[in-house]
Amino acid sequence: MEVGVNDPKRRSPELVRGVGESYSPGRGEIVLSVAILLVAAFFRLYRLEAAPPGLQHDEVFHGHDASVVLQGNHLIYFESNAGNEPLFVYLVAGTIALFGTNYLGIRLAAVLCGLATIIFTYLLARKAFGYRVALLTSAGLAVSFWPVFVSRVGLRAASLPPLAAATAYFFWAGLCKKQDAGCKRKWEWICFGLAGVFLGGTLYTYPASRMIPVVFVVFMVYLALFNRLLLLERWKGILLFFALAALVAVPIGVAIWTHPRADVRVQQLSQPLAMLAQGDPRLVIRFTLDTLKMFTLRGDPVWRYNLAGRPVFEPLGGALFYLGLALVLLRWRRPRYAFLLLWLPLALVPSMITDCAPSFLRASGALPVVYVFPALAVEAAWRWLVERFSKKAVYGLAAALLLLLAGNAWWTYRDYFTVWAQHPEVRFVYQTDLTEAAHYLDDSDIAGPVCISSSSPHDLDPFIFDFTLKKQRKVKWYDGPYGLVFPDGGQRALYIFPASTPLHPGLQEEFFQRARLVEERRFPDGELAFTAYELEAREVLQAKIEVLRSSSLAVWSPEVQFLPGDPHGLRHPVAFPVDFNHRLELLGYELADDTLSAGEWVHLTSYWRVLQDVASPLPLAIFVHLLDSQSTVWAGRDILRDILSVATAGWEAGDIFAQVHHFPLPPAIPAGQYQVEIGVYSRADMQRFAVFEEGQPVADRLLLEPVSITGR
């Protein structure tokens, strides 16, 4: 379709059939279209539970938010995980409602988005360039690594390409001439209206979507400069298009503007732009060049999103892509080619201006258009053969295309299912060890509580079990390198240690000497997945606590200036256990060394008992500070790792846990005696727990055994 060309005599031969016309598809086209969709469905559904080989944290965040939606909380913007647009979350809510709380519930939403991308891209390419280009573009999308990956992983970026393609299709359907496409005025308005709704809807998908409206705005500038007649003829429909897009986008715009925690992730990746604003374009130039290399030289370097470094195209496909790009550049005065020429670079901008380029996810807005370029090159070769030889000459080209597509499909299958999905880095990112642990628990008949070590015990890793564990089990989570939990004071329990989060060596030696190894599971390449032990720790734990009670020293004191010998009598010794806000009891502690040198590490282990059952997570943290005589904090931890190593959700009165605190002393710390203070606070309101003595609150911290610091 050469929109804006009114004189039939000026139409090129390509307008005779196949470009921009509303002719009905033939049987062969229908058969091929269905075959492409079936192949695409295979690549997106085959071994969906095993490739990727587990659920990554971003996926289960979407699943968790979807569960919130199903509970009746219909949000416009989700603040979890550094901020999330809502469309994909609502799609996941629908698939979870249909298929259950499992990997299908999360990933089928992406599969549907991937198939919708192929359908709308086919319609767009057929409208603008004819059925052959549409079929070739769809085939490329069906079997290539990049679109296959985006369509299999439950990430919100999957929802951007179908909406971008739908926007473009209906926009071009609205632009088509009556005499070219037989469009009625009513259909024109409907098309522009739908295009506007889809354009506004793109902003509900993923931050990279914000470049899609820019594509259409810049295209309007192009029409004003080079095809003003078309712009004047369609200005009412175009105005409707932008007006509806703005109207649809208002709620998400207001939500992001009024949410202080919105777009945190975007801010985290904005260093190149910040440097550019300060007059330093080096990072933007570097990431722009890296992004431009992604098609044939070096693709996304992150294993989470790609077989690290794998480019979009293999050599022959890359040559066709650049040939198609050259053809588009030569034909830039024709609106449909100019539209491609604008869409591609503008959709790549989010990858060009953020860290770790190229990023396939941040460039996902370009997915519908990328595979049109090699298809245009093949279409040009097809026409050249027909004009100079005969129709029989195209049979060789068709056979070569089939071989190319089959080779690309094999390349994708090998790289995705065999190489990428089984790589150790991918197993780590997609928490495969936890997935294996869930499968083990489903098959195990060991009763009693289950204690699982994980790097994110408070939310992310339990979310993974929400979507992988089928049996109902009482699970207690903790961060093994930094702590240990004892259900009901040390009753018999099953302890699982994924290879990525082994138990702290001191706690291992202290409590697991007599534990029974019940499972050691490995991956096919021999790498350890997890070990499982059965442990009855009550006697050993009680003996440990009795020793700590007699050896641990602590006082409460309001002092802010620590005078030698406590001349004012402000320090009040306390007996263990010590009550913190009627929620926790400090049972005792163990200080590895009370005499240290500057630059060495303080090692402290505290033992706590839970006093109240907890159903929902409590945002609690333990702080440990090293204070000089003027209460200046010289070292300590009260954030990050010293957020409780044990997840508070599922706490039961009588549970005991150990918390490991270790932190370095500054090299420049002066020699002398330092006070160690310990306490608990809520991260919700930053209020410290009160220390109770004989039922009365007396302080908001405890002072432990002093530490002497010597010079180096």
* pLDDT tens sequence across 562-598: 998 888 999 999 999 999 999 999 999 999 998 999 8
- 582 and 645 together in one domain: yes
- 587 and 532 together in one domain: no
pLDDT score recorded for residue 82: 74
Q: Residue 545 falls within a domain, yes or no? A: no
Signed CA dihedral, 500, 501, 503, 504: sign only: positive
Q: Exposure of 660 by Cβ count < 10 A (0-12 exposed, 13-18 middle, 19+ buried)?
A: buried
pLDDT digit string (tens) for 536-561? Answer: 999 999 999 999 998 889 999 999 99
- 104 and 203 together in one domain: yes
Q: Is 650 left (phi over 0), alpha (psi -120 to 50) or beta?
A: left
Least confident range from 239-243, 280-284, 404-408: namely 280-284
pLDDT score recorded for residue 318: 95
CA distance 354 to 263: 13
- 509 and 592 together in one domain: no
Choose the final residue of a domain: 480, 509, 537.
Answer: 537
Query: What percent of the chain lies above the pLDDT cut of 90?
Result: 71
At how many degrees (to 10) do helices 103-129 and 87-99 cross? 120
- 523 and 612 together in one domain: no
Q: Give the contacts of 684 (CB within 8 A, at least 6 positions apart).
A: 619
Domain residue limits at 445: 431-537
Residue 11 DSSP class: -
CA distance 496 to 454: 9
Q: Residue 542 falls within a domain, yes or no? A: no
- 350 and 314 together in one domain: yes
pLDDT digit string (tens) for 594-641? Answer: 899 988 999 999 999 999 998 778 888 899 999 999 999 998 876 434
pLDDT digit string (tens) for 94-146? Answer: 999 999 999 999 999 999 999 999 999 999 999 999 999 999 999 999 999 99
Residue that has been written with the tokens 């379709």 in this structure:
1
- 46 and 116 together in one domain: yes
517, pLDDT greater than 70: yes
pLDDT score recorded for residue 178: 53
424, pLDDT greater than 60: yes
- 90 and 211 together in one domain: yes
Reduced 3-state DSSP string for 154-205: CCHHHHHHHHHHHHHHHHHHHHCCHHHHCCCHHHHHHHHHHHHHHHHHHCCC
- CA distances in angstroms from 117 to 162, 179, 365, listed in the order given: 4, 29, 11
The model's confidence at residue 8, banded by pLDDT at 50, 70 and 90, is: very low
Q: Give the contacts of 682 (CB within 8 A, at least 6 positions apart).
A: 618, 619, 620, 621, 689
Provide the domain count of the chain.
3
Least confident range from 15-19, 220-224, 383-387: namely 15-19
CA distance 233 to 223: 11
Tokens of 151: 């369509």
- 661 and 644 Cβ atoms separated by less than 8 Å: no
Q: Residue 546 falls within a domain, yes or no? A: no
Least confident range from 255-264, 375-384, 468-477, 612-621: namely 255-264
Winning range, highest mean pLDDT, from 79-88, 290-299, 398-407, 445-454: 290-299
Closest by Cα among 401, 381, 378 to 389 = 381
Strand order in the sheet with 450-453: 475-478, 450-453, 493-498, 528-535, 516-522
- 488 and 632 together in one domain: no
pTM of the model: 0.88
Closest by Cα among 70, 77, 63 to 110 = 63
pLDDT score recorded for residue 630: 92
Rounded mean pLDDT, 499-515: 92
- 382 and 275 together in one domain: yes
pLDDT digit string (tens) for 330-382? Answer: 999 999 999 999 999 999 999 998 888 899 999 999 999 999 999 999 999 88
Tokens of 45: 């559904």
- 322 and 205 together in one domain: yes
CA distance 222 to 628: 68
386, pLDDT greater than 60: yes
